[in-house]
Amino acid sequence: MKSGYVALIGKANAGKSTLVNVLVGEKVAIVSPKPQTTRDAIMGVINGDDYQIVFIDTPGIYKAKNALSQVMEKTTETTSKGVDAIVFVLDGHEGISDSDIEIIKRYSSGNIPMLIAHTKIDIMPKENIPENVKKLYDAGIDCDVYPVSARKGINLKNLVDGIVKLLPEGDRVIQDDIVSDKSERFMISEIMREKILLKFDKEIPHGIAIVVNEFTKNENGVYDINLDIVCEKANHKAILIGKQGAAIKEVSSFARQDMEKFLGAKVFLTTYVKVKEDWRDRPSLMQTFGYGKKN
Ligand SMILES: Nc1nc2c(ncn2[C@@H]2O[C@H](COP(=O)(O)OP(=O)(O)OP(=O)(O)O)[C@@H](O)[C@H]2O)c(=O)[nH]1
Ligand SMILES: [Mg+2]
C-alpha cells in the first residue's frame, strides 16, 4: 500500500483546483478564470485499492501585493515543505516562460519528489506538447512530465499512477471515509465567493470575504443560510448590489442553486453587502474572516 500527502503547486490560474476536483470526483475547491481564486490549503482525498492520495490544493503563486496575498503565499510555501510529493501544475497552453522554469526549479530543488502535470492540453495544438517537454528538459528540469487535461479528462489515470509511484509505502493516512477536511459551512462561503468571482471584474471579487452568520437545517429539511458579503470599498458595494439590487439578486440566485446541489437540500439564502475599508491589508480583520489564523 502506498499513501501520502501531495501538494498541488503552480502559478495562479494554472488549473490546480480544477484538477483536484476532477481527481477526487467531487467539488472540494472553487474554480474561476481569475487568478488567486484559492485562498486556503484545501484537502481532497482519493482512495484506490492499493493507494491513498491526500491532495492539498494551494493558493497559486502570484506576486504578493497585500497582506492577504502574503498569507496565501506563506500557506503555499509551508504546504510544499510538509508533503510526501509535489504535483507541479503547469498551464503550458501558451508555451513555457522563463518564469515557469524558474518557479519549477525552485520547487524541484528540495528533497521532496515532484512531477509536472502539464495541463490544459485540450486548448493547444498537440504538436506543441513535445516542444514544451523538451524546453523543460533542456532547462535542466528532470522530473517526469504528464500532459493532461482536467477539463476533458485526458491522461488522468497515468497521472495518478505517476503520483502513486512517488509515494512511500504505508497505511492510509486518513482513516475516515472523507474526501475533504473543510466543513459544509466553509464550502457555502466558498460557493458564494466563486459566483462573485465569475460575475464581477477587476479588483471587486479579489476584495471579497464571506462571513456566514447563520447555517441551520430546519425540521422540514430546508437550510437557512444568512451571510455577509464583505467588500473593501463603498463604490464596490454599489456595484455588487447593482441597479435596484439586480446584481446581488442574480449572483445570490446562482450561489443558492449551487449550494442546494452541494447540500442536496433546499436553501433559503439571505445576503447582505457590507464594507470594511481595505480589509485585505488589516491582519486583525483578515483573521476575523478566517485568513491568516494560526493553526
Ligand atoms: N481548457 C482548459 N481549461 C482549464 C483546465 N483546467 C482548468 N481550466 C480553467 O482554468 C481556469 C483556472 O482554473 P482553477 O482550477 O481555478 O486554477 P487554479 O490553479 O486553482 O487557480 P488559483 O486558485 O487562482 O491559483 C478556470 O477557468 C478553469 O476552468 C483544462 O484542463 N483545460
Ligand atoms: Mg485554485
pLDDT at 156: 98
Q: Establish whether residue 154 lines the binding site of ligand 1, counting it when its CB lies within 6 angstroms of any ligand atom.
A: no
Residue 170 region by backbone torsions, left for phi larger than 0, else alpha for psi between -120 and 50, else beta: left
> How many A from CA of 27 to the centre of ligand 2?
12
Ligand number nearest to the C-alpha of 194: 1
The whole-model pTM stands at 0.95
> How many A from CA of 218 to the centre of ligand 2?
32
Cell of 184: 459544509
pLDDT at 175: 86
> How many A from CA of 37 to the centre of ligand 1?
9
Domains and CATH numbers, the chain: 2-166 (3.40.50.300), 184-288 (3.30.300.20)
| 27: three-class secondary structure by DSSP | coil
**Ion ligand 2 contact residues with beta carbon within 5 A:** 16-17, 37-38
pLDDT at 98: 97
> How many A from CA of 31 to the centre of ligand 2?
6
Q: Which of 13, 56, 149, 196 to mutate to test the pocket of ligand 1 (most atoms within 8 A of CB)?
A: 13
Q: Establish whether residue 76 lines the binding site of ligand 1, counting it when its CB lies within 6 angstroms of any ligand atom.
A: no
pLDDT in tens, 121-139: 999 999 999 999 999 999 9
Q: Establish whether residue 58 lines the binding site of ligand 1, counting it when its CB lies within 6 angstroms of any ligand atom.
A: no
* Nearest Cα to Cα of residue 267 among 228, 212, 221, 223: 223
Q: From the alpha carbon of 119, which atom of ligand 1 is closest?
A: 31
As a whole number of angstroms, the distance between CA 272 and CA 286 comes to 19
> How many A from CA of 29 to the centre of ligand 2?
7
Q: Kindly give the parts of the chain with pLDDT less than 70.
A: 294-295
pLDDT in tens, 179-224: 888 999 999 999 999 999 999 998 899 999 999 999 999 999 999 9
Q: From the alpha carbon of 11, which atom of ligand 1 is closest?
A: 25
pLDDT at 295: 43
Per the CB < 8 A criterion, the answer to whether 239 and 246 are in contact is no
Looking up cell 492510509 gives 172
